[in-house]
Structure formats: structure tokens, C-alpha cells
Amino acid sequence: MMIESRVRSILVPILAVLIALLIASIIILLIGKNPLMAYAVMLKGAFGSVRDLTNTIVKTTPLILTGLAVGFGFRAGVFNIGAEGQMAMGALFATIVGMNLGTVPPFLAIPITMFVGMLMGAIWAGIAGFLKAKTGAHEVITTIMLNWIAYYLGNYMVAAPLAVGSGTPKSPEISASARLPVIISVQAIDLTPGIIIAIIAAVIMYFLLERTSMGYEIKAVGFNPYASEYGGISVSKNVVLSMAVSGALAGLAGALEVMGLHHRYLGALTAGKGFDGISIALIGQNHPIGIIFAAFLIGSLRTGSNAMQFAGISKHIVMIIQGIVIFLVAADRIVRTMMDYAKYKRMKSEVGVEG
Amino acid sequence: MEERKDYSEYAVVMKGITKRFPGVLANDHVDLFVRNGEIHAIVGENGAGKTTLMNQLYGLLHPDEGKIYIRGKEVKIRGPGDAIRLGIGMVHQHFMLVKTLTVAENVVLGSETKKGFLFDLREARRRVKELSEMYGLYVDVDAKIEDISVGMQQRVEILKTLYRGAEILILDEPTAVLTPQETEELFEIMRKLKESGKTIIFISHKLNEVMEITDNITVMRLGKVTGRLKTSQTNPKEIARLMVGRDVLLRVEKKPREPGKEVLRVEELWVKDNRGLDAVKGVSFTVREGEILGVAGVAGNGQTELVEAITGLRKIESGKVYILGRDVTNYTPKLLREMGLVHIPEDRQKHGLILQFYGYYNAILGKHYKSPFCYEGVLNLKNIMDHAKKIYEMFDVRPRDPKIPAGNLSGGNQQKLILAREMSSNPKFALFAQPTRGLDIGAIEYIHKNILKLRDMGVGILLISMELEEIFSLSDRIIVMYEGEIMGELKPEETNFEEVGLLMAGHTLQEVRSGVV
């Protein structure tokens, strides 16, 4: 029975993607284009060349981490909607520290910058966790409010104290020693070890949740705070802790964007990637491995959509596909009912049960 | 050629009813015969198929095989609507009332009295009042459901069925939620209903109640009928044997035992409830090694708060708690567990288990951070699994697979899992809060035996129960709680149900013994 439910939790998102592609192809037909052509262009845009593939991986990296942030929160029974703000705070403070590490060698500067990003993300989410534990304030409300604070704080920093140059408000670049090394550079797109760091984060999250007493306590509190308290587990400590871990993952996403991609803080750095984390966690069923695949899916849809745009098909089709996938995964009863029905029909034909 | 029988003297006949669920044969060719105007009991352990059978009579489920006859006529019941038209009413274990509406509004809900297009509340109140007086179902028709007691809510449910013209009433374990007094009142109502010609099907596993109120009994076990008895010609022992399939000790044997040194001391304890009102008011008592102190009382007289205060789940306002001579007032649950306290909580699904967790995770709750289950913060899954398998075996938790989530176990097996976990941690002091609530007699016997085993091993035990039977058969001493105070301390061999009942109703021991009441 457990095996069946595991197979199902993998099947549901896959079926959801297929159904979404099907529905979107009807829409593409309705706007007078050829869906097969559109998908071919999209696939080519995401994976067609080394450059495209590199671009997809670069786009996937922060999405894995924000997906893990939200997914970890879900597993702990908290709804962290603030990955966006935590990512911004992580990026902002990673920049501030990274700017001043010119004299520090990379093997120290890189971990320090990453750590600062995680720490700020953890603190930012921890505030919401602390408020929930001490006053009962709901984390959905507080993290949304903290998102705005982070957003305007970031904008202010690059508009005034940290502002350099003209045009888009931006901070100075971080020191070369705090940047991630480039593995390969394809036509101005740099692939850094960021993706490896994101995957390691997923493995650590899996280990933490499934193999440690900390994970045991965090999940216990998420499922049933009363029984947890009865079992000697401190509910308030674990609420703060799980928010902090969740925020640290989002903060790391911000730090890596600075260290590997932009090399500075910009107001538009997060650009909704924190919110994408919610969809990705849902599609990935809050499982670290599932989240990696879900992030890759969304990442490749995003790069593929640009190619589609050049071919004259609105790239917003991708938003429709993403929307339908999330709808079907969130309302997974729909897909499950369809699966049950298929199974029922099969059984009926095998056993010959009367309708 | 099927033989045609005359079933006109029967209100309900169910013939050869078979109902399959995936992997389970819930009803296996069940025959049920209920005469007009009788109170008919269907008894059986949890999972015997009683509720499944009744849900088919009420149209909530449809039989895979078999026929149903109402007052001699074969019928097809496609849904509750059909059942209601046939004069069948069902009162479920969990009430289906709108909390924010009044009694009268709830009773007429779905078939409202109307004046033109508008709801006619006056007419509704009048008719509900009339009905309630006719059957002695006294309720305040204008009270909101959320403000009335569980016993009153049940009356509203019965009124609902009568209002819809029910002649055949199905009561699914109606006494499970009632106090002894409320149960007595319910029986009075059932007798009145019977006098006025109604037929009642009473689902229960409480044998003394079945003996008291019913005319005939159908016994079920594992989906089959194992006995059809006339109440006046049987006894609880026989019913129990048919229910469980073997001889059952309805009352466990207790060896005399000299209690040892003091394990728990409670001094002048004051505790508040969730609303901030005093729930425990200056309670003092002690429990010694190898002794069971029973706390009797009607639910809601401070027992829950007392338990939570002792186990560290609720703040102690004033007073002291000592375990093994050490002051543990307001210690955390974790520290108390470290000191050898175990707790079988009153609400096993809320406090005792994490239903979404696998059985083996639940088997270590409270010791999950200690060796051999955890080293340096890393869980040792092999040791956890071995431990779970061992205690599943020792305490007969079924199915014997710790990979099944606790939420998928039956109530009795959930309780066994909690018992297994708590008893396997070498307790010095054990607190049992309503350890057999909602369990069937096989499981009750098992749990009682284990409580006594713990006592004989020298553990001090505090037993809180609403069931006087349980208090009397297990306790070495009894204290009675009423409105947060102890009304008196008694020895079970020197007292009786009536005396304890009076203390539970708020009389002091002096009053009772001096014959004032």
C-alpha cells in the first residue's frame, strides 16, 4: 500500500504535465499555430544546444533552492510564503559581505559569502517563526509582510547607500574571490558549481528529514503539535527551527545568484523565484528529488519559452502550462480519480464484474 | 423456486446481506430479524460489521448481495431519502448538527416549516415542542446546539428522526458519549419510544446496557452472525464468548499486594482550564509503588487538567507535584519522561500518536533522541525497526507490520501501540487516562491485564476513568472528583457503585455515610 502511494505521488505530477501540455496544445491550435511545432521549438530552445542547456541549468539552480525552502516548510507544517524576501535578504547581505572580501582567498571568501546569505535568510524567516511560536501570528501573513520589507530595503540599499553607476539601480560588484568559479562559459553564459551546491542541499535536506532526530521532531511538530508536546518535543523551538532552515535555503538561493550570475545586488534579482518555489514544491510533492525535477521542468519551460517567442508564439503559453500543472497537482484528486477510473475499468474487464 | 416467507411481523428483515470492501468481507451473508416494536441489539467488536450493516439499511451503502424487507415488503434502499420515506431513522455516532443554529432549527432543517416562501420558526418551535413532550425528550427548543451538552445533542438527533416520521430507529453506539446518568435518561426515552410502538435497533458493545434495555440480540463477529439470543435467556458471559470467539474475563483477577514506597505525591494542586477558570481546586493525594489509585468522576470535572498538570502539558498555578520524592512541579514532559513517568493519554489520536507517522516512528516517540534509536542526532533505523517489531510482537499489535502508518490501525491496535511504547520504557510511575475508551471487550481485557501486570511489577499507577466498572475492578484505592475537588477516598471492597455515584454527583462522603442523602 505504501509502495502504491509512492508510485502515485510520482505518477500524479507526470500525468499533470502531460495533461497540461495537451490542454495547452488546444489553446495553441485555437490561436492558429501548430502545437507540435511550438513544442519542438520549446524543446530546442531549452536543450537544443550546449548554450541552451547551460542556460536552463543556470535558471534551474535558484529554483531548486527556493523549491526546497518551501518544501521543507511544508514538511514541517509551516507555510513559508516568504522565500522571495528571504532570498532577497540572502542576496543583499551576501553582496555587502562579498564586496569586502577582496583580500580573503576564494576558499574562505566563497563559504563565508554563502554562509552570510543562508544566515540572513534564516534570520528573516526565523522572525516569522518566532512570531508564530510566541504570539501565534500566522506565518503566511508575517512572511508576506517581511517580503515587502525585504523588497523595499533592497531597493533602498541599491538606490542610496550602495548605489553605483547609472541606469538600473545596482550595487557595486562583489570581490572576485567571492565569486563562484566558472566551469564552462558558453557564449557569455557561465556555468558555475551552483547547480552542484543546490543538489547537495537537496541531499542534505533529505538526510535531515529522514535520518536525524531533528528531522523526526520537525515532522512530528508539523503533523501533530499535541502529540509532539506529549512526546517531550518543544513545539515552539521546532517551529522557529524549521522556519530558519527553510529561510536558509532561500537565502542560499539569493547568495548563489549573486556569486554565480549577477555578481551584485539588483532590485529585480529575485523576480518571483521565491514564489516559484511554492509551485515547485507542490509539483515535486515536497520530496527533495521531486523538487529537483520540478525545478528543472520549470527552468526548461522558462528558457524554452523565449525560443517560442522568437517563433511567433506568445511565451505566456508557458505560464498557462505551468498554471495547469499546478492546478492539477494541487487538486490531485482529479488525476487520482482518473487513475482510479482507469484501474476500475481494467478490473471490470478482467473480473467481469457487473456494472 | 424461492420460498416466499411472511415477514409481516418483522419491522426489518435483512436476508443474506453481503458487502465487500477492497480486501475485506465486511458482511458475509448476514441475516437480521427485528420484530415490530422491540428493542433489538446488534453487538460485536469493532470491525465486526455492525455499522456497515446498518449503513446498508439506511441506504448509505448498497449490499453486494441480499435482500431487505421492511414490514414484510421487499424494498430497494438507494439512499437515505428512500430510508426516511420507509420510516427509518438513524442516529450516528458522530452527530450531524449545525452548531450555530437552535434546537428547533436543527430538527426541521431540510424539511422546514414554511409560511409562503418564508421559514416559519413559530410553527417549527411548536411542532418540535409537541414531539419532545410526547416522548419525554425534554430539550430547550431555543438553545443553540453549541451551548447544550452531548446528551442533549443526542436528543436533538433523535427528535430529528422522529420529526421525519421514523418508525424504525437505528442508534449507533449511542451511549459511548454519555455519562451514566445520561445513559439512564436515554434508556427511559427508549422505553417510552418502544411503548408508543417504535422499533429500535441498538448498536453497542457494552454488555450490561444490552442486558438492561433490549428484547433480542444479534451477535456479530468478523462480518458474520454468530448468535441470535433472547435477552431474558442469556447472560453477558455467553454474549461475550460469541462476540470474541473465546471465553473472556469480564473482570480481571487481582492479587492482593502490599504497596511499597511513595512514587507520586500531589499537594494542594491548582490548575486552570483552557478558558482560564479553575479546573483543579486544591487536590492532594499520593500513589505508592505497586498500587493503583483510581480517579472516578463524570467527564469534565477536572480530570483532564489534573492529568495534563502532572504530565507537564499544562501549567500548575499553585501546589506541588513530587515524583520519587523530587519536586517536579512544572517540569517539561521530556524531563518527566526521563524520570520514569509514562502516560497513556485520554485522546490517543490527539496526544498519543502521530497518525501520519509509520508505526515504527510512533514506537519511539518520546525516546527518539536517545540510544539505541539515535546516536549523535542520527537515527538508527535498524534499531528502531527491531524495537518496533519486538513490541508489536509482545503487545500483539495487528497487523504485525510497523511500516503501516498509525492512522491506519484500528482504535484497539492504536491503543495497544501506545501501551507497548509506554510500557517498554521501564516506567516508575504510570498514568492511564481512560485507557479503554471506545475499545471492544477483547482489547479491554488485554489492557486491564497489562495494567495489573505493571502494578505487580511495582509501578505506581494513577488510573482515570469514566467507567465505574473499570475503576472498581482495577483500583486499590478510589478517589472521586467533582468540580475539581476530591469528594472522598474509598476502598473498592468497602463501597459500591451507588455510593461512588453519589460522590460523583457532588455529595461528600460524610453526607453519604451519615445518611443525609
Q: Which of A2-16, A79-93, B16-30, B493-507 is predicted with the least confidence, judged by mean pLDDT?
A: A2-16
Regarding whether B285 and B225 lie in a shared domain, the answer is no
Read off the pLDDT band of A5 (50, 70, 90): low
The Cα-based distances of B74 to A222, A287, B16, B101, B186 in angstroms read 52, 54, 13, 38, 32
Instruction: Tell me, yes or no, whether B156 lies in a domain.
Output: yes
A212: distance to nearest CA of chain B, Å? 4
Q: Does domain A2-335 have CATH number 1.10.3470?
A: yes
CB nearest to B333's CB, from A212, A217, A232: A232
Tell me how far CA of residue B181 lies from CA of B170, B187, B304, B505, in angstroms: 21, 10, 20, 10
B299 in Cβ contact with B179 (< 8 Å): yes
Q: Are B220 and B126 found together in one domain?
A: yes
Class of residue A191 by CB neighbours under 10 A (exposed 0-12, middle 13-18, buried 19+): buried
Q: Does residue B326 sit in the same domain as residue B366?
A: no
Domain count, chain B: 3
What are the residue ranges of helices labelled H in B23-179?
50-57, 80-85, 103-108, 121-134, 150-163
Examine the domain organization and report whether B47 and B99 are in the same domain. yes
pLDDT of residue B501: 81
Residue B202 pLDDT more than 50?
Answer: yes
Q: What is the dihedral of CA B325, B326, B331, B333, to 10 degrees?
A: -60
- Residue in chain A lying closest to B380 (CA): A211
The verdict on a CB contact (< 8 Å) between A226 and B350 is: yes
B434-464: b or e for each residue (b if 16 or more CB lie within 10 Å)? bbbbbbbbbbbbbbbebbbebbeebbbbbbb
Tell me: pLDDT of B500 over 70.
Answer: yes
Residue with cell 435483512: B14
The distance of B40 to chain A (nearest Cα, Å) reads 35
Q: Do A229 and B333 touch (CB under 8 A)?
A: yes
Quick one: which of B214, B188, B239, B173 has its CA closest to B38? B214
Q: What is the pLDDT of residue A347?
A: 61
Query: Same domain, yes or no, for B81 and B219?
Result: yes
Q: In a 10 Å sphere around its CB, with 0-12 CB exposed, 13-18 middle and 19+ buried, how is residue B29 labelled?
A: middle
CA–CA separation, A164 and A171 (whole Å): 6
What is the enclosing helix (H) or strand (E) of A155?
A: helix A139-159
Nearest to B298 by CA among B500, B504, B154, B475: B504
Looking at CA atoms only, how far is residue B333 from chain A in angstroms?
A: 5
> Is residue B249 a part of any domain in this protein?
no
- Which pLDDT does position B63 carry in this prediction? 93
Looking at the complex, report in whole angstroms how far the Cα of residue B51 sits from the nearest Cα belonging to chain A: 25
The pLDDT assigned to B45 comes to 80
A173 vs B: CB within 8 A:
no
Residue B1 falls inside a structural domain: no
Would you list the domain boundaries of chain A? 2-335
* Helix-, strand-, coil-residue percentages of chain A, each rounded to 5: 75, 5, 20
Q: Is some CB atom of chain B closer than 8 A to the CB atom of A214?
A: yes
**Which residue of A1, A208, A216, A241 is the best one to mutate when testing the B interface, meaning the one whose CB has the most B CBs within 10 A?**
A216
Domain end position, chosen among B189, B211, B244: B244
> Is B415 found in the same domain as B274?
no
In a 10 Å sphere around its CB, with 0-12 CB exposed, 13-18 middle and 19+ buried, how is residue A349 labelled?
A: exposed
In a domain, B2, yes or no: no
Question: Domain boundary residue among B244, B274, B298?
Answer: B244
- Asked if residue A344 has pLDDT above 80, the reply is no
Residues B280-306: what's their mean pLDDT? 93
Say if the ipTM goes beyond 0.90.
no
Do residues B402 and B361 both lie within one domain?
yes
- Asked if A344 has any chain B CB less than 8 Å from its own CB, the reply is no
Closest partner residue to A214 among B333, B345, B377, by Cβ?
B377
**Residue B58 sits in the same domain as residue B140:** yes
The answer to whether B362 and B406 are in contact (CB under 8 A) is: yes
Interface test with A, best of B357, B365, B403 (most A CBs within 10 A): B365
Asked if B231 and B318 sit in the same domain, the reply is: no
The CA distance from B424 to the nearest CA of chain A, in Å, is 15
Tell me the pLDDT band of B149, cut-offs 50, 70 and 90.
confident
The residues near A79 (Cβ < 8 Å, ≥ 6 apart) are: A73, A139, A140
pLDDT tens sequence across B66-108: 999 999 999 999 999 899 999 999 998 778 889 889 999 999 8
| pLDDT value of residue A353 | 38
Range of the domain at B111: 10-244
- What are the tens digits of pLDDT across the range A180-190? 999 888 888 88
How far is B429 from chain A, CA to nearest CA, in Å?
16
* B366 with A230: Cβ contact below 8 A: yes
Label residue B274 by pLDDT band (50, 70, 90).
confident
- For residue B2, pLDDT beyond 80: no
Model pLDDT, residue B256: 81
Does B328 share its domain with B374?
no
**Binding-face residues of A in 234-263 toward B, CB within 8 A:** 234
What CATH number is associated with residue B456? 3.40.50.300
Contacts of B377 in chain A (CB under 8 A): 212-214
Compute CA distances B254 → B395, B420, B454, B458, B474, whole Å.
Answer: 20, 21, 12, 14, 7
Inform me whether the C-beta atom of residue A211 falls under 8 Å from chain B C-beta atoms: yes
Same domain flag for B220 and B90: yes
B315-345: pLDDT as tens digits:
999 999 999 999 999 999 999 999 999 999 9
Cβ atoms of A162 and A174 closer than 8 Å: no
Q: Is A351 on the interface with B (CB under 8 A)?
A: no
Distances from the Cα of B85 to the Cα of B59, B76, B156, B160, angstroms? 11, 12, 20, 14
| B369 chain-A contacts, CB cut-off 8 A | 213, 217
Of the candidates B311, B345, B354, the beta carbon closest to that of A223 is on: B354
In chain A, which residues have their Cβ closer than 8 Å to the Cβ of B403? 2
The rounded mean pLDDT for chain B is 89
Decide if pLDDT at B49 tops 70: yes
Note whether A213 contacts B361, CB cutoff 8 Å.
no
Q: Is residue B147 part of a domain?
A: yes
Q: Minimal Cα–Cα distance from B328 to chain A, Å?
A: 15
Is B366–A223 a contact, with Cβ atoms under 8 angstroms apart? no
Judge whether B3 lies within some domain. Answer: no
What is residue A1's predicted lDDT score, i.e. its pLDDT? 37
User: B150-168: per-residue pLDDT in tens?
Assistant: 788 889 999 999 999 899 9
Task: Confirm or reject contact between A20 and chain B (CB < 8 A).
Answer: no
Whether B69 and B150 map to the same domain: the answer is yes
